[in-house]
Structure 1
């Protein structure tokens, strides 16, 4: 009889732990922030990027920000680097504006296109 009661107690404890774990995972998923993702795309003369939150485009940047004129990024990697910078700023609740200093720190090359 003692073994039977011990088995029931262990089963009940395992079930309770599993149920608590499932509830915690569901609550964490529901409370999580929207996941931000970026995609680089081709534009005339170069590349741009867009940032999505839950499959909704929240930023579409066809040109290099912080410089005068409509100049696209020279490489996919340049667009990707800046999009990741913007995502990091958004996740850290910072202003997502890209500055000339940001571009310089990322070694983004801007060709003079006219």
Structure 2
């Protein structure tokens, strides 16, 4: 009787550990859903950014989005601000689009 209870307890514990591992591996915050940012210096001047997912380029943004013209970011810091916004949206499941209002709220170095 004791061995059956011990075996049942061990199986339940093992199932819980495997379940927790699977949840961590496949959850939104697990390693398969990690996005990285790379700032790129453009040949024509200014900066852009890349967002990578598992070392594969997902987004390449060589200019400030949502402002109606194709101007690059003036500084690395500006590119990072927008890239972080986009990354946070991706990680939260909200897509990746950025509005003109969100760009204005980030107080970038460029006037629009």
When normalised by structure 2's length, the TM-score is 0.72
Equivalent residue, structure 2, for 1:5: none
Aligned position for 1:25 = 21
Mapping for residues 41-52 of structure 1, pairs under 5 Å: 41-44=40-43, 45-52=45-52
Q: CA deviation at 1:21?
A: 4.3
Q: Which consecutive residues of structure 2, in runs of 5 or more, have no partner in the other structure?
A: 1-8
Counterpart for residue 102 of structure 1: 102
Aligned to 1:35: 34
- The residue number in structure 2 matching 1:72 is 72
Sort the Cα spacing of 1:21 and 1:81 in 2 relative to 1 into closer, same or farther, 3 A: same
Mapped to 2, the partners of 1:110 and 1:99 lie a distance apart of: 16
Q: Tell me, which stretches of 5 or more residues in structure 1 are unaligned? A: 1-12
